[in-house]
Amino acid sequence: MSIYYQRADLSINPITPLRLQALAQLSLAPEQAGFVESVDECLAEAQQDKRYVPAALSIDSQVIGFAMYGLFDEDYGPRVWFDRYFIGAQFQGQGYGRAFASLMLDYLYDFYQCDNIYLSVYSHNHGAIKLYQSLGFELNGELDCNGEQVMVTKRGALDNGAASINTTSY
């Protein structure tokens, strides 16, 4: 399968050797260092834990970001996690972060047929928290095993018109 999910020119793709080379060229903005693991660390974790699915995020065929997600059985029951996510520093500030996060949510809802999606975020990662809140995520009061705050969004959280997502204009 060459594409997991696509909307217009945005696509979520499996990792291939060519995409891996492109991912290696991406970097985080200096102020984002420490908030997300490197692609190599994520891929190593996905090798060890097959519940993780790594993906390259592309515009047309140009890789501009990375995501990792999965379905995990937990004490609370099964949860879909939008676990790792970043857009390369050179592509930030153009609306791609929001556009791809929205695309990821649509994909995860469709693929897993779930009603809730979870993620975790450091409390001092204000930019990410703001982005996730704009997509309907709310803090649920939990902390993950690394001490990060857990956020959850429900299918249709933005259907009330409180916020809109424009993925055709970056």
Taking the domains of the chain in order of start, what are their residue ranges?
5-154
Task: Supply the pTM of this predicted model.
Answer: 0.87
pLDDT at 143 over 60: yes
DSSP 91: G
Q: Is 132 a catalytic residue?
A: yes
pLDDT at 114: 96
C-alpha distances out from residue 93 to 23, 109, 116, 121, Å:
19, 26, 28, 20
What's the pLDDT tens digit per position in 60-72? 999 999 999 999 9
Cα–Cα distance, 77 to 154 (Å, whole number): 16
Q: What fold characterizes domain 5-154?
A: Aminopeptidase (3.40.630)
Q: Supply angle C-alpha 121, 123, 129, rounded to 5.
A: 60
